[in-house]
Amino acid sequence: MSTVRVATFAGPGAGPRIETVRRPQVPDRAALIQIGACGVCGTDLHILKGHWPRPLPWPFTLGHELAGVIVEKGPGLEADFMGRPLAVGSKVMLPPLMPCGVCYYCVHYPAHANRCLNPTYYGRYLPFEKPPHLWGGWAEMVYVDLDMLPATKIYRLPDRMSLRVGSLAEPLTSCIRALNRAVSAGGFRTGDTVVIQGSGPIGALAVVAAREMGAGRVVVVGAPEQPRLALCRAFGAEATVSLETHTTPQARIDAVRQVVGGFGADLVVDCSGHPSAGPEGIEMLRDGGTYVEMGQFTDAGAVETNWHRICVKDITLLGSWAFTANDIPVAIDLLDRVRDRYPWHLMQQQFPFTEAGVAEAIQCALDMRCVKATIVPSEGIG
């Protein structure tokens, strides 16, 4: 077979076209992978709706949740990213975004190498007309060449794993990482109650990840009942709240809080992609809970806010309300330690304890004529 069939799209809104392209030669550190299964991701749908925030090199082949079998490989490609041997017949997956390993982010912030400044992904193999052109798993084959794109990462799948299940490795990875982000923030512990907003593929896989990572209870908010909420329950969600029957944010908040009980959920993970999910989900949390935003990564529908930037920038956004009793001695110790190191008198303007003095202190603060208006009822006592 000297040709390969691939599905291409001319641009946003266009339907798929099955094109026939030349089967490439396979040099030393390259491989041709026959695709067994490739998922349709919400990202693909966004791209096809024109929501991708940067220009894309249309026409190209979508599909990044791929699993396949190596059908041809060069002798220099001996092992996968984890050092496991690769051979013709090996089952493999490829992620869509492969950090370069050498840019500032990859070197200095490896935990955020997903924000690599020079990632290898789709567009790097394009334009489509120029071989190698087989990138994107909605195709009979994809092609990889580690000499051309050294950041390419191949991951071997277990021989006994079906390629269909293997194609879930990429989206499940996103869910596991989101929960590990909560762990790293001290916001997800064994037995915790987790609410998942969104019952699409990411929401369903987040149910699995949450259960396997130790969640005590898992509740899903989403729609429609069939097939999505039913699947979430089959995957182990204790309860589901339907957007079809709970049509307002407050109705959903009330329903979730009734299921969860107590003070609210320990952890809420947004997998929904709905612009309003964030403010709604926060109200499902107990005070002191943790919220992870992984569902919103384009500004589609959220032009009035930059909430999606929480996800896109992979940031940790923390609330902090006042303090606890254990924090106060820390501040007292600090003030004592640095008592001579800062010009405190420049900060604190003193006012006498009279009606006029108190009024003037308030006005001075309101007018920003001082930094810290300070009323001194008993001057000279200490």
Task: Give the shortest CB-105-to-Zn ion separation in angstroms.
Answer: 5
Helices (H) and strands (E) in the chain, counts: 12, 14
Instruction: Round to whole Å and give the CA distance between 341 and 292.
Output: 40
Looking at residues 62 to 101 of the shown chain, list those that interact with Zn ion (rule: CB under 5 A).
Answer: 99-100
CB-CB contact of 7 with 16 (8 Å): yes
| Residue 120 vs 296, nearer CB to Zn ion | 120
Per-residue tokens: 91: 């089952």
Dihedral through CA 23, CA 28, CA 34, CA 36, nearest 10? -160
| Residue 63 vs 99, nearer CB to Zn ion | 99
Task: Give the shortest CB-104-to-Zn ion separation in angstroms.
Answer: 8
Give strand ranges (E) for 16-109.
17-22, 30-39, 65-73, 91-94
Looking at residues 110 to 139 of the shown chain, list those that interact with Zn ion (rule: CB under 5 A).
Answer: 116
User: What's the N-to-C CA distance of the chain in angstroms?
Assistant: 92
| Residue 4 vs 113, nearer CB to Zn ion | 113
Burial of 287 per CB tally in 10 Å (0-12, 13-18, 19+) = exposed
Task: Give the shortest CB-100-to-Zn ion separation in angstroms.
Answer: 3
Question: How far from the centroid of its chain's Cα atoms is residue 159's Cα?
Answer: 29
Residues 96-115, mask of contacts with Zn ion (x by CB under 5 A): ---xx--x--x---------
Among left, alpha and beta (phi > 0; psi -120 to 50; other), residue 13 is left
Count of residues near Zn ion by CB under 5 A: 5
| Residue 109 vs 235, nearer CB to Zn ion | 109
Task: Give the shortest CB-172-to-Zn ion separation in angstroms.
Answer: 23
| Residue 103 vs 230, nearer CB to Zn ion | 103
CB-CB contact of 34 with 141 (8 Å): yes
| Residue 101 vs 357, nearer CB to Zn ion | 101
Task: Give the shortest CB-107-to-Zn ion separation in angstroms.
Answer: 8
Task: Give the shortest CB-99-to-Zn ion separation in angstroms.
Answer: 5
| Residue 38 vs 98, nearer CB to Zn ion | 98
DSSP run (H or E) holding 291: strand 285-293
Task: Give the shortest CB-173-to-Zn ion separation in angstroms.
Answer: 18
Kindly state whether residue 149 participates in binding Zn ion, applying the rule CB under 5 A. no
Task: Give the shortest CB-112-to-Zn ion separation in angstroms.
Answer: 10
Kindly list the strands in the beta sheet with 155-156, ordered across the sheet, starting from the edge strand earlier in the chain: 141-145, 30-39, 65-73, 91-94, 155-156
372-376 vs 348-352, strand pairing mode: parallel
| Residue 102 vs 331, nearer CB to Zn ion | 102
Instruction: Round to whole Å and give the CA distance between 255 and 265.
Output: 12
Q: In the complex, which residues of this chain contact Zn ion (CB under 5 A)? A: 99-100, 103, 106, 116
